[in-house]
Amino acid sequence: MKLQDKQIRMIVTAVAIIVIFIVLQLEVRSEREWMCAECGASRLQSRWFNLLDKDFRYRNSPLERWLLDHRLKHDHDWKLIIQSRKNILSKTLSSGYGDPPSIYLLRTDLMEDYLKTLTTGQIMDFYQRIRNSSPQERFDLFENALHSVLTEQ
Ligand SMILES: [Zn+2]
């Protein structure tokens, strides 16, 4: 009788370990983050149990704020930059990275510093060049802006 109790306990423990192991492999939530290639705003979306979408973080950018302040219409051009799957403990099960748009070079603070060095007309010109340039020209534009910010400081 005593031996049976011990065997039952071992089986229950083994089953519990297997169940915990399986549960930890299950995707409970996925996260995806996008960045706008033209203004640098970003948004992080969480999806629970592959069903419920929830936008839980939106971060505008200095350029987007400037466009809004000047009542200029802007349609975001969202690019997926990070995607990850999380388990019940919010531990990452897998993740993938897309190519970030080149505006990523001028993340929030750097963009803010750069815009401060420009006049209204120059910011307008900067924005028009972002919108009308090829991927390589756009990369060069942001790289030059980054260089200008870093050498200012
Ligand atoms: Zn945008």
Residue 51 phi/psi, 5-degree rounding, is -125, -55
Q: By three-state DSSP, how is residue 27 classified?
A: coil
Query: How many CA within 13 A on the CB side of residue 131?
Result: 12
Distance CA 149, CA 58 (A): 25
Range of the domain at 14: 2-152
Distance from residue 25's CA to the centre of ligand 1 (Å): 36
Distance CA 136, CA 119 (A): 25
Q: Quick one: DSSP state of residue 40? A: -
Residue 33: the pLDDT is 94
pLDDT band for position 152 (cuts 50, 70, 90)? confident
- Measured in whole angstroms, the distance separating CA 129 from the mean position of its chain's CA atoms is 24
pLDDT band for position 2 (cuts 50, 70, 90)? low
Distance from residue 21's CA to the centre of ligand 1 (Å): 42
**Which tokens sit at 145?**
């802006």
* Beta-carbon contacts of residue 66 (< 8 Å; ≥ 6 apart): 115, 123
Distance from residue 78's CA to the centre of ligand 1 (Å): 7
Distance from residue 108's CA to the centre of ligand 1 (Å): 13
Distance from residue 11's CA to the centre of ligand 1 (Å): 57
* Domain total in the chain: 1
Distance from residue 73's CA to the centre of ligand 1 (Å): 10
Distance from residue 6's CA to the centre of ligand 1 (Å): 63
Q: By three-state DSSP, how is residue 46 classified?
A: strand
pLDDT 10s digits, 37-91: 999 999 999 888 878 777 688 999 999 999 999 999 999 999 999 999 999 999 9
CB burial of residue 21 (10 Å; 0-12, 13-18, 19+): exposed
pLDDT 10s digits, 108-143: 789 999 999 999 999 999 999 999 999 999 999 999
Distance from residue 5's CA to the centre of ligand 1 (Å): 65
State the helix-helix crossing angle for 120-131 and 62-69, rounded to 10 degrees: 110
pLDDT band for position 107 (cuts 50, 70, 90)? confident
